[in-house]
């Protein structure tokens, strides 16, 4: 039996949170892409990264790997959900000013295709559909490198004052 191991490191997540202070959501996310603040630990744990943002839009990329597998021998649906939740939430975050943030209130994910290590690159993209004073909604899709749909999702996020 071949032994498999995976080691990774992360920085204090409060350093990432501190980088948001005084920045709009869009500026903060651009700071993350530029490497001016450490990525959130979940991104390192699951092996994905934020690759693009514009107002009302966010894109994450990752790679399907064995360490994502469930007992059925395929990638766990939670990876698709996490990638989509990240893209949806960050799309909403791009619409926030220096004093507001968001939290996911509801997410609905529809898995449309099995994901395995052969799937390779995963791309999660999301667009804000509605941004009100206290609620935002967004729509997202997860595709492989060829653009084949693997999952799609919608979210409702609450717009809240940022802590601290």
The string of pLDDT tens digits covering residues 2-21 is 889 999 999 999 999 999 99
Q: Count H helices, E strands: the chain?
A: 4, 6
Whether 138 maps to a domain, the answer reads: yes
* CATH code of the domain covering residue 74: 3.10.129.10
Identify the pLDDT of residue 1: 79
Q: In what order do the strands lie in the sheet with 121-131?
A: 48-54, 57-63, 121-131, 135-144, 149-161, 100-111
For residue 58, pLDDT beyond 80: yes
Whether 50 maps to a domain, the answer reads: yes
Identify the pLDDT of residue 2: 86
158 in helix, strand or coil? strand
142 in helix, strand or coil? strand
Whether 4 maps to a domain, the answer reads: no
Q: Concatenated DSSP letters for 90-113?
A: HHHHTT--TTEEEEEEEEEEEE-S
Residue 155: name the closest of 120, 119, 130, 123 by CA. 130
The range of the structural domain enclosing residue 29 comes to 13-161
Mean pLDDT, rounded, for 20-41: 97
The string of pLDDT tens digits covering residues 68-103 is 999 999 999 999 999 999 999 999 999 999 999 999
Residue 32: name the closest of 8, 4, 60, 56 by CA. 60
Q: What is the pTM of this model?
A: 0.96
Whether 152 maps to a domain, the answer reads: yes
Whether 7 maps to a domain, the answer reads: no
């Amino acid at each position: 039996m071949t032994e498999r191991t995976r080691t990774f490191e992360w920085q204090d997540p409060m350093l990432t949170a501190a980088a948001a202070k005084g920045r709009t959501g869009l500026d903060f996310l651009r700071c993350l892409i530029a490497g001016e603040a450490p990525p959130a630990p979940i991104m390192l744990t699951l092996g994905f990264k934020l690759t693009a943002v514009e107002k009302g839009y966010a894109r994450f990329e990752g790679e399907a790997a064995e360490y994502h597998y469930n007992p059925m021998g395929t990638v766990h649906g939670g990876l698709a959900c996490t990638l989509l939740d990240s893209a949806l939430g960050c799309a909403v975050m791009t619409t926030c000013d220096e004093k507001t943030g968001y939290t996911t209130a509801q997410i609905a994910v529809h898995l449309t295709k099995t994901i395995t290590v052969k799937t390779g690159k995963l791309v999660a993209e999301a667009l804000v559909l509605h941004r009100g004073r206290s609620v935002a909604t967004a729509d997202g899709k997860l595709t492989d490198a060829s653009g084949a749909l693997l999952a799609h999702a919608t979210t409702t996020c609450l717009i809240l004052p940022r802590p601290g």
